[in-house]
């Protein structure tokens, strides 16, 4: 049971949705599948990664890109048809040094991950990448849960001008990390896994989801271990096993 409590704008075209739910446990990187409206158009549920989950409060960030997301952010508070949490999330390491690299709305699941890593005494260096300052959401929250936070924007309107991959490359020269976690545009994650080929990387992939529960194979990901379904074998994968060009 999910009850939508609020939908609040947190950046240009980005909304924070807060739900009350009776679900008590989840793993960062898992997603919920939201039914858009009460009719059949759009028919297919829309997947969103968990931005946070404490007790019976669950949050997601929704970026408006089309019909479904526009409808979801304007839904009135009340009961909402959601399934989840679904999928395989990130692994939570304890007492390590982790680098988190997010791009755009891909920063959303990394916030929940960073809170869980901090609780497990892992040192978090966070690289928050965005296209522009207007797209950055809830930066104070990221500041609070990171030991070190670096912000990059493509247009240089805030933080360092450039991509999060360039920032990751430059800090990985001086510091060593036990693990890298990433979520964002596929091209960003592909380049990151090429540049940091010596470090274990967990990447959360975005695919078009049909059923979201392993039935349609619409979310196939080519890996060195064969084709996998992003909705149930992922969305989090070992980045070095993903065949990014397929």
Ligand X SMILES: Cc1cc2nc3c(=O)[nH]c(=O)nc-3n(C[C@H](O)[C@H](O)[C@H](O)COP(=O)(O)OP(=O)(O)OC[C@H]3O[C@@H](n4cnc5c(N)ncnc54)[C@H](O)[C@@H]3O)c2cc1C
**Interacting residues toward ligand FES by CB under 6 A:** 209-212, 214-219, 229, 231
* Rounded distance between C-alpha atoms, residue 100 and residue 110, angstroms: 7
Closer of 167 and 221 to ligand X (Cβ) = 221
According to the binding rule CB under 6 A, does residue 236 interact with ligand X? no
Where in 67-126 is the site for ligand X (CB under 6 A)?
67-69, 105, 108
Residue 66 touches which of ligand FES, ligand X, none (Cβ within 5-8 Å per kind): ligand X
According to the binding rule CB under 6 A, does residue 9 interact with ligand X? no
Report the nearest approach of ligand X to the CB of residue 170 (Å).
27
Describe the crossing of helices 186-195 and 164-174 by its angle, rounded to 10 degrees: 20
Report the nearest approach of ligand FES to the CB of residue 215 (Å).
5
Closer of 81 and 144 to ligand FES (Cβ) = 81
* Rounded distance between C-alpha atoms, residue 126 and residue 159, angstroms: 13
* Rounded distance between C-alpha atoms, residue 193 and residue 69, angstroms: 30
Count of beta carbons in the 10 Å neighbourhood of residue 17: 23
Best CA proximity match to 90, nearest among 31, 41, 147: 31
Q: Binders of ligand X: how many residues, by CB under 6 A?
A: 22
Report the nearest approach of ligand FES to the CB of residue 231 (Å).
3
Backbone angles phi, psi at 98, to 5 degrees: -120, 145
Q: Rule CB under 6 A: choose which of 209, 221, 236, 239 binds ligand X.
A: 209
Report the nearest approach of ligand FES to the CB of residue 230 (Å).
6
According to the binding rule CB under 6 A, does residue 233 interact with ligand X? no
* Rounded distance between C-alpha atoms, residue 78 and residue 244, angstroms: 40
Closer of 74 and 217 to ligand FES (Cβ) = 217
Sign of CA dihedral 71, 77, 83, 89: positive
Residue 214 touches which of ligand X, ligand FES, none (Cβ within 5-8 Å per kind): ligand FES
According to the binding rule CB under 6 A, does residue 2 interact with ligand X? no
**Contact 75/7 with Cβ under 8 angstroms?**
yes
Q: Rule CB under 6 A: choose which of 40, 55, 66, 76 binds ligand X.
A: 66
Give the 3-state secondary structure of residue 41.
coil
**Distance of alpha carbon 223 from the chain centroid:** 20
DSSP bridge pairs for 165: none
Residues that bind ligand X (CB under 6 A): 31, 42, 46-49, 60-63, 65-69, 105, 108, 206-209, 235
């Amino acid at each position: 049971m999910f009850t939508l409590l609020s939908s609040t704008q947190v950046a240009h075209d980005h909304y924070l949705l807060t739900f009350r739910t009776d679900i008590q446990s989840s793993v960062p990187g898992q997603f919920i599948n939201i039914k858009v409206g009460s009719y059949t158009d759009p028919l297919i549920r829309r997947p969103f990664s968990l931005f946070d989950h404490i007790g019976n409060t669950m949050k997601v960030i929704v970026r408006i890109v089309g019909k479904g997301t526009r409808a979801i952010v304007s839904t009135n508070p009340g009961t909402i048809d959601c399934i989840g949490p679904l999928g395989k999330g990130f692994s939570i390491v304890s007492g390590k040094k982790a680098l988190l690299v997010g791009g755009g709305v891909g920063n959303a699941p990394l916030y929940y991950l960073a809170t869980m890593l901090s609780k497990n005494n892992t040192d978090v260096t966070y690289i928050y990448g965005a296209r522009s300052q207007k797209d950055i959401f809830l930066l104070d929250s990221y500041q609070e849960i990171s030991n070190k936070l670096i912000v990059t924007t493509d247009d240089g309107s805030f933080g360092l001008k450039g991509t999060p991959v360039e920032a990751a490359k430059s800090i990985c020269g001086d510091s060593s990390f036990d693990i890298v976690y990433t979520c964002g545009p596929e091209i960003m994650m592909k380049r990151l896994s090429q540049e940091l080929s010596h470090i274990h990387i967990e990447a959360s992939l975005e695919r078009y989801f049909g059923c979201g529960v392993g039935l349609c194979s619409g979310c196939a990901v080519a890996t060195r271990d064969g084709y996998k379904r992003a909705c149930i074998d992922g969305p989090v994968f070992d980045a070095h096993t993903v065949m990014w060009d397929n």
